[in-house]
Amino acid sequence: MPMSTLQMGLIVLGGLLLLVMAAHAVWTARKNRPRQAVPEEGAKPAGSETALGAGIEPGLDMAAFDVVNFPLPTPEKRPTMDALIDVIAPIALETPVSGDAALAAMPATRRAGSKPFAIEGFNAASKSWEVPLAGQRYLSFQAGVQLANRSGALNEIEYSEFVIKTQAFCDAINGTPEFPEMREEVARARELDHFAGDHDAQLGFVVRARNSAWSPGYVQQNAAHLGFVAGVIPGRMLLPASQAGLPPMLGLLFDAQAAMAEDMSQSAIREVAISLDVPQVDRAERPFERMREVALTLAERMDGVVTDDNGLTLPPEAMDVIGNELGTLYDTLDRRDLSAGSALARRLFS
């Protein structure tokens, strides 16, 4: 039976509707697909990744993650003990002791509980305190344990462990220790810990996607343009300090699972966190200003918005308030001889 004009019209209309639905599905999938890194001049083509580039999306500028050629930080000489944050026990000697003997007498661990423990010797040649070295001779020693860190104040049990470790070292080198009074040191530890707790600051901004999500490569590429380098932990990037050997100025963190996905181009990231460990970074680096610049730049380039940890938008006025409060904190740390970024502050706030 021949079809009527109405039936033909319905068939044509149905076909058009299917085409529209298919086109809409394609458009929606493309719209919702995470933004991808843009190929850059000199970037390696897809499929040419080496072991270094494994897990990094094709098209990402590998130069930004060249760990082989990136300058490694030179180890900073560990600062000598300081009575401001350490319990120090002098160790007298009847005769000089070799560095080899001192190293053989060192305890197996360099901690008393959760506090760093150390022994230093006074070098007969250089006339300075240092960690004992083979081939050197020492006129005296000193043992120390840190009064406080982010694990809390030195307690009586940790002090006793400090005494036991020091005494064992002294017995091995025929030295005589002089220990400070425990109650006074524990009280001093509590006061220092109270001060540190009131003046510890770890700031965080979050850049959240407004619309389209981001792929890990897209995040890495934009962060690399601002000076960040890949960290050891998946999903973590670091902005190095201006001086080698110092802690990074800023950290950037995104979903580790997305960073380890087999096909990272399909991984969707909707937020990245930017962090600043205030006491660890010298104020001369202007880390907060850099953090603010990074957050706003990433938000602009990746179509995002800057918020706090609770998702509340941070307008420029709110950032100004944070900056002013940070200036007061810096001044307080300076007055206590624990300036942000100093060796003592990095030890205390760790």
CA atoms within 13 A on the CB side of 24: 6
Mean pLDDT for 120-148 is 97
pLDDT in tens, 89-126: 999 999 999 999 999 999 999 999 999 999 999 999 99
**pLDDT score, position 263:** 74
Same domain membership, residue 234 and residue 297: yes
State the DSSP code for 249: S
Domain that holds residue 326: 62-73+200-348
Give the residue with greater pLDDT, 190 vs 67.
190
- CA–CA distance, 312 with 309 (Å, rounded to integer): 7
Residues 287 and 168 both lie in one domain: no
Of 197, 224, 252, the residue that ends a domain is 197
Residue 30 in tokens: 């493309």
Domain end marker among 137, 164, 197: 197
Residues 210 and 326 in one domain: yes
Predicted local confidence at residue 8, as pLDDT: 59
**Residues 334 and 319 reside in one and the same domain:** yes
Q: Is the pLDDT of residue 62 over 60?
A: no
CB 128 within 8 A of CB 77: no
Beta-bridge mates of residue 55: none
Reply yes or no on whether the pLDDT at 23 is more than 70.
Answer: no
The CA-atom distances, in angstroms, between 175 and each of 121, 137, 153, 199, 295 are: 12, 14, 28, 39, 55
The predicted pLDDT at position 55 comes to 39
**Same-domain pairing of 260 and 168:** no
- Among 277, 279, 149, smallest CA distance to 204 is for 277
- What is the pLDDT at residue 336? 97
Q: Is residue 272 part of a domain?
A: yes
**Are 210 and 300 spatial neighbours (Cβ–Cβ below 8 Å)?**
no
Residues 221 and 238 in one domain: yes
Number of domains the chain contains: 2
- The SS3 call for residue 215 is coil
Range among 24-28, 34-38, 162-166 with highest mean pLDDT value: 162-166
Nearest alpha-carbon partner for 57 in 86, 37, 83: 37
153: β partners: 148
pLDDT digits (tens, 9 = 90+) for 254-277: 988 888 877 766 788 999 999 999
Q: Are residues 185 and 208 in the same domain?
A: no
Residues 6 or more apart whose CB falls under 8 angstroms from that of 117 comprise: 107, 109, 110, 111, 143, 144, 145, 146, 162, 165
Query: Does 15 reside within a domain?
Result: no
Answer yes or no: do 237 and 333 share one domain: yes
Token readout for 151 is: 């694990």
Same domain? 209 vs 268: yes
| Residues 151 and 226 placed together within one structural domain of the fold | no
Residue 138 located in a structural domain: yes
Give the C-alpha separation, 231 to 247, whole Å: 12
Which of 32-36, 51-55, 215-219, 222-226 has maximum average pLDDT? Answer: 222-226
End position of a domain, from candidates 138, 167, 197: 197
Residue 191 CA, chain-centre distance (Å), reads 27
Is the per-residue pLDDT at 287 higher than 90? yes
Mean pLDDT of 71-88: 69
Percent of the chain with pLDDT over 90: 71
Task: Report whether pLDDT(75) > 60.
Answer: no
Which CATH number is 159's domain given? 3.30.1400.10
- Strand partners of residue 137: 98
Per-residue pLDDT at 52 exceeds 50: no
If one compares 121 and 50, the residue with the highest pLDDT of the two is 121
In a domain, 130, yes or no: yes
Indicate whether 30 belongs to any domain.
Answer: no
* Averaged pLDDT score across all residues of the chain: 85
CB atoms within 10 A of CB 252: 26
- In terms of domains, do 96 and 153 share one? yes
Same domain, 146 and 213: no
Whether 242 is in a domain gets the answer: yes
| 229/249 Cα distance (integer angstroms) | 12
